[in-house]
Copies of this chain bind each other. A is one copy, B any other.
């Protein structure tokens, strides 16, 4: 259990700091299909799925595995998916000053599969878009294209 909630004891700055590089251009960077496992704070049952992150750097880049580590820090807590999605987007925006950032998360919830309604094939998708990902249609569309929303099967 302490493993599943170890996110509470991790320091996001310590996780990120040692892997920030200076960006030479300002193009979109996307990390797709990051596996995410978390615990629903109402039923203490797991929800799990995939997280997709995109951002357009100003002058700093995050090392590729740091994006995945940020997901881990916030997922290893008691969560609801909507908040988890927002927290990841905020953490990236805070860590390296970005032009824009977007996070999409697609999860299956065991509390929904194993209990009550027993809908066994549904999954929930949540998204947070900040900065140019929110304001510019072209950027948001490119992000949606690059992560291939709606095509995952898991």
- The answer to whether A17 has its CB under 8 Å from any CB of chain B is no
Give the number of chain A interface residues (Cβ < 8 Å): 72
**CA of A68 to CA of B115 in the docked complex: distance in angstroms?**
12
| A146 and B150 within 8 A (CB) | yes
A residues neighboring B (CB under 8 Å):
3-4, 19, 21, 23-25, 27-35, 37, 42, 45-46, 48, 50, 61, 63-65, 68-69, 72, 80-83, 85-86, 104, 106, 109-129, 137-138, 140-142, 144-151, 153
Q: Which of B28, B35, B104 contacts A120 (CB 8 A)?
A: B35
Q: How many monomers of this chain does the complex have?
A: 10
Q: Which of B27, B35, B115 contacts A129 (CB 8 A)?
A: B27
From known contacts A21-B80, A27-B86, A121-B120, infer whether A149 and B149 are also in contact, taking CB-CB under 8 Å. no
Q: A117 — which chain B residues lie within 8 A by C-beta?
A: 65, 68-69, 72
Q: A141 — which chain B residues lie within 8 A by C-beta?
A: 141
| B27 and A124 within 8 A (CB) | no
CB distance from A47 to the nearest CB of B (A): 8
